[in-house]
Homo-oligomer: A and B are copies of this chain.
Amino acid sequence: MNFLSMPKPELERVYQELLERYRHFQGQHLDLNMARGKPSKAQLKLSEKMLDLVNSSSTLDSENGEDCRNYGVPLGLAEMRRLMAGMMEVPAENVIIGGNASLNMMFDTVACGMTHGFSGCAPWLEQKNRKFLCPSPGYDRHFGVTEYFGFDLITIPMTENGPDMDAVEQWVKDPSVKGIWCVPKYQNPTGITFSDDTVRRFAALKPAAKDFRIFWDNAYCVHDLTETPEHLLSLWSECAREENQNLAFFFASTSKITFPGAGIAAMAAGNDDFAELKKRYSYQTIGPDKLNQLRHVRFLKDMDGIHAQMARHRAILAPKFTAVLQKLESELSGKSVASWTKPKGGYFISVDVMEGCAKRVVELCGGAGVKLTGAGATFPYGKDPKDRNIRVAPSFPPVEELKQAMDLFCICIQLAAAEKLLKS
């Protein structure tokens, strides 16, 4: 039942059947959300005991004897820096602990470039026609930060090995190109992990702009969905080998390890950039929340603790991904109306529907009570040039609701395809 080879009368009949099923869904008044990569209630419950580990009877001092209730320690507790360093595979002395949002640290780092510049270059605000590379489909909030700061956003195609490195190497010859957004492991939304070759080519970049930076947001570094995790080469080590140590900023957080609404963010930078950012933070803040750091260190303890926690997340998340993939397979396979990724980690499944149909699919789903990420959101300026990509976030709804939502989603994909084909 390939839509492309179906005679029009049959397609018309299929369309009517789909429409009937769609209307049936409308009658159910669903209210489901597959829009954002939000952990579910069951996942949040996994970290609740953390809240009990810092209380009025417990020690409130750090391992270095700092009173975590009081001012001080602007770069974060030594034990917290060490823990995040292990996760990010960078030296602890290059780590800065932030508040609860790594996005905030990325924003602040771009803001630092805007007003103070990097590597002694002029502030970005004074450099006209500045550009930022955006591997797409990618993370809308990344693109949003550089859009807010007035960069021209350049779409770099995503391949199965990561961003198209030929395109990246070509673009960095332009001195007005100041950086690139990357989610190197289980990328948002494709689920792809950058290949060793991709990481090596990143580390070996010789950009025309001395103030070009890779924003390496390793948001899903330990967020495996299988027991055979994909391996990401360490960009830090590769940059060291290339003596290119100030080429990248590294970001991570515990948002999807403990609590998105009360986690710990961290970043790392090469020595020169670290000094610049350390100076900035000395003016910007009296230091991040140290009691929350204490909570996290006591709860997660070390890399073994993090992996054990992630295994518990996996037990909840993996069946949801399986449910989504099974629905896509059983409802859409062989119909030439969509293709999709089968990620081994992260929070998303990326679905490419028939060209020119993504907006319509999202609209149809919304009309029957299922909210999806806005079509186009995964591209710069929210504009998918082929109107094709939809990011599915299976984490939040319970499995049963997810299956319902996916039934509707698959109907809408076919409806939009049939509409298009019938019009042509």
Contacts and interface: CB of A to CB of B under 8 A. Distances in A.
Interface in A69-106: 69-73, 99-101, 103-104
B291 A99 contact: no
Contacts of A73: 261
A111 B144 CA distance: 17
Nearest to A51: B55
Interface string A103-125: 11001100100110000000101
A363 interface: no
A39 B292 CA distance: 19
Given A51-B55, A107-B285, A262 B69 contact: yes
B49 A56 contact: yes
Nearest to A74: B101
A78 to B, nearest CB: 15
Contact of A67 (B44, B49, B55, B60): B44
A283 B140 CA distance: 10
A284 interface: yes
Given A49-B56, A70-B39, A126-B125, A261 B289 contact: yes
Contact of A125 (B71, B107, B123): B123
Interface in A210-267: 255, 259-262
A interface residue count range (under 10 / 10 to 19 / 20 to 34 / 35 or more): 35 or more
A211 B51 CA distance: 44
A312 interface: no
A68 interface: yes
Interface string A36-67: 10110100100111011011100010000001
Query: Which interface residue of A39, A49, A56, A71 has the most chain B CB atoms within 10 A?
Result: A71
Nearest to A253: B286
Contacts of A60: 44, 48
Contacts of A149: 115
Q: For A261, A280, A283, which residue has the most chain B Cβ atoms within 10 angstroms?
A: A261
Contacts of A44: 60, 67, 69-70
A369 to B, nearest CB: 19
A4 to B, nearest CB: 40
A398 interface: no
A286 B260 contact: yes
Contacts of A148: 280, 283
Contacts of A259: 69-70, 291
Given A67-B261, A262-B290, A285 B115 contact: no
Contacts of A144: 283
Interface of A: 36, 38-39, 41, 44, 47-49, 51-52, 54-56, 60, 67-73, 99-101, 103-104, 107-108, 111, 114-115, 123, 125-126, 141, 144-145, 148-149, 255, 259-262, 280, 283-292
10 contacts: A38-B70, A70-B259, A70-B260, A71-B260, A104-B286, A107-B284, A107-B285, A125-B125, A145-B283, A261-B287
